[in-house]
């Protein structure tokens, strides 16, 4: 637990960008058990990289942990770092998945971005990752 620098910190401040944000993890106490962790962020916001207008979404993060689990406060701060970040929906969803995978090396992970209607069209993106155990 010594590696958790944000949990319990009273003034953790929001990172200015996803690159500045830090996703933290802790040891999974049930690595032999296959179970799913789901995070739901119904107030996700990012910016259109072309117009600067806000894009609103619900982000679903589902994963089966291996040795590590994502710490939720660091995830909250990480997701909030997108508020002033310009990126297309496809990039946002895939970048979140890449960062989750890097932070905890799960057995399996999925990130779903359900972006609110803009211009009469809603965009839903699903990005998936499956750990190939032979790569370990």
CATH class in words for 25-135: alpha beta
Distance CA 56, CA 82 (A): 11
41, 55, 99, 104: the catalytic one is: 55
Q: Is 104 a catalytic residue?
A: no
Q: Collect all residues with Cβ–Cβ distance below 8 Å to 119 and sequence separation of at least 6.
A: none
Distance CA 36, CA 80 (A): 23
Here the tokens at position 39 are 């995070």
Distance CA 15, CA 21 (A): 5
Kindly tell me if the per-residue pLDDT of 56 is higher than 60: yes
pLDDT at position 69: 97
Kindly tell me if the per-residue pLDDT of 136 is higher than 50: no
So where are the chain's domains?
25-135
2: nearest Cα among 25, 32, 36, 34: 25
**pTM of the complete model beyond 0.85:** yes
Q: What is the pLDDT of residues 70-97, one digit of tens each?
A: 999 999 999 999 999 999 999 999 999 9
2, 41, 48, 98: the catalytic one is: 48
Q: Is 128 a catalytic residue?
A: no
């Amino acid at each position: 637990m010594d590696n958790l620098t944000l949990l319990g910190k009273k003034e953790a401040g929001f990172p200015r960008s996803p690159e500045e944000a830090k996703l933290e993890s802790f040891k999974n106490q049930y690595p032999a058990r296959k179970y799913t962790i789901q995070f739901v962020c119904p107030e996700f916001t990012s910016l259109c990289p072309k117009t600067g207008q806000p894009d609103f979404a619900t982000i679903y993060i589902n994963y089966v942990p291996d040795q590590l689990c994502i710490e939720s406060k660091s995830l909250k701060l990480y997701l909030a770092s997108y508020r002033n970040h310009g990126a297309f929906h496809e990039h946002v969803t895939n970048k979140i998945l890449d960062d989750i995978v890097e932070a905890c090396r799960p057995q399996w992970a999925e990130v779903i971005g359900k972006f609110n209607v803009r211009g009469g069209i809603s965009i839903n993106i699903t990005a998936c990752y499956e750990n190939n155990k032979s790569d370990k």
